[in-house]
Structure 1
Amino acid sequence: MTTEGTAANRAAKPASLRRELRLLVEALVVAYLVVTFGFTTVGVIGSSMEPTLTGASASGNLVSRLFAGDRLFIPKYETWLRRTGLLGGYQRGEIVVLREPDNAPTAVLSGKRDLVIKRIVGLPGDRVRIEAGQVFVNGVAIAESFTVSTGALRLHTVDFPQVVVEGGEVTALVMGFNDARARASTPLLPSRGVHVSPLPVDDPRVQLYYGALLGSILVPDDAPQGVPMVLDLVVPPGRYFVLGDNRSFGGSQDSRYFGTVDAMSITGRATAVIWPFSRAGGGNVRGLSPAAAYRLQ
């Protein structure tokens, strides 16, 4: 090889590296834009959305977490259109991915806010209450038989919010905690067979988990005084009441345990299950339209 040829090769190598680096950067930018503004997929971890969605074990290895659970399709452009006001709000029954609030029990214990998957049950302005596990929205009992239709889950007959009223104001929530320390507690709600005593609303633990919710509880003028009762809570503007489909005891941490969630914490709506293609010998790929039970008449 001539001296001139060697020099030319040396000059060509940096140029080639620059081209490859530029292509790599462009690919990363395109991928970022697609995932941020176009679409993405999210894997289901945990059992909080069973039986609707199957999740991978949170303690499994990376491969297991990536492929064992259902993988959901999330059109991110919808999220940005909603945040800019060009698209309406979310609908009852839709399944969404959201960043859990600071006061979620798992966030309090771990110090980090994970992404979780829940179903929207209450819209801004809706009146929501739960009696013996039965969800009522605007006075209508929601027929959520699909949550226990497989027989694998047993409905937790929880009451929420169960309160005590004095002088026309909520003075106590009927609930317990598994630890006396405010920042190491998980709420224990009253249910059939689980009896807990009222706690004053100024208890630090009540304030941590439900302080923002107390002002949303609707107290009727004729509410009995000093008697535990379940009342409606009104979902504030710009917020949603969310639940997991797994309503068994300990099945899901949701608005029963941390109150309503800010619309801005919702990162996307799940529109379809795209993986795995089959489960238990049947097809698994499917759309995720809002359940008919949430179409109030």
Structure 2
Amino acid sequence: MEPIIHSKGEETPEDHGEGKNRRRMKASSNRLVSELRDILKTVVIAFVIMLLLNMFVFNLSMVKGQSMMPTLEGYERLFVDKLVYNLGHPKRGDVVVLKDPSIGTDKKSFLVKRVVGVPGDTVEVRKHTLFVNGKLQDEPYTDVKIEGDDVPAVKLGEKEYYVMGDNRHAGRSKDSRFFGSVQEEDIVGRADFVFWPISKIRGL
């Protein structure tokens, strides 16, 4: 029997099958690369959006220490609205996150406190109780009198706020009794609610 000789460019059945497999694998690889590219693009866009929201709209913060007990406990997570004070100003009773005024500007440290005095107010701690504009304040969010020394009357200027922790036990809260009034520009945002742990989700 004479050998079968294939002309140049003619494929054997085996060659034809291998070519199909190669094309199929290449198409599959291209789809995988395209899908990975789409996923990566989605992740990058989501990251950028979250970064912008975190910078300008909201922040997620964790409570450290006991200065806001009984309102807040250590390691609870807070949702902080950063946009609200672009549209208005802090009010008495707001729980706010602010830059720690007692450290240098080159360090980043934040405190959670309650606003007890706003611009124009006169704040005073007399006989272990809080007076604002000469009126005794009803503070249902704290469970003790203000321990420690009384504080002479302080008149707040424009964009100045007086903040205190809800834990009024002596030495439990580093606040305006320690570092004085704070500037509005140092208030990062308003803490609106606790979102973690789930069992303690609540508004503030």
TM-score by length of 1: 0.55
Tell me if 1:128 matches 2:123. yes
Equivalent residue, structure 1, for 2:95: 95
Unaligned runs of 5+ residues in structure 2 are: 1-17
* Cα distance in 1 for residues equivalent to 2:192 and 2:25: 57
Higher gyration radius (CA): 2
Structure 1, residues 37-85: CA drift from partner, whole Å, max 9, x if none? 4434322111010111111xxxxxxxxxxxxx22222233314xx2xxx
TM-score, normalised by the number of residues in structure 2: 0.78
Change (3 A) 1:258 1:20: same
Cα distance, 1:18 vs structure 2? 2.6
Q: Does 1:44 align with 2:63?
A: yes
1:32 aligns with 2:38: no
Instruction: Report the count of equivalent residues.
Output: 184
Does the aligned pair in 1 maintain the 2:77–2:195 contact within 8 Å? Answer: yes
Deviation, structure 1 residue 11: 4.7
Matched residue of 2:83: which SS? helix
Give the SS at the match of 1:267. Answer: strand
Residue among 132, 157, 177 paired with 1:236: 157
| Residues 1-297 of structure 1: pairs in structure 2 closer than 5 A | 1-2=18-19, 3-9=22-28, 11-12=30-31, 14-55=33-74, 69-79=75-85, 82=86, 87-101=87-101, 104=102, 107=103, 112-144=107-139, 146-148=141-143, 155-160=146-151, 230=152, 232-278=153-199, 284-288=200-204
Deviation of 1:243 (Å): 0.7
Contact 1:131 1:157 in 2 (8 A): no
Q: Distance in 2 between matches of 1:72 and 1:7?
A: 50
Q: CA deviation at 1:12?
A: 4.7
Structure 1: runs of 5 or more not aligned = 56-68, 161-229, 279-283, 289-297
Per-residue deviation, 1:13: 5.1
Q: For residues 241-271 of structure 1, what are the alpha-carbon distances to aligned partners after superposition, in whole Å with 9 as ceiling and x for unaligned?
A: 1111111111111111111111111111112
- For 1:6 and 1:285, locate their aligned partners in 2 and report how far apart those are by CA, in whole Å: 51
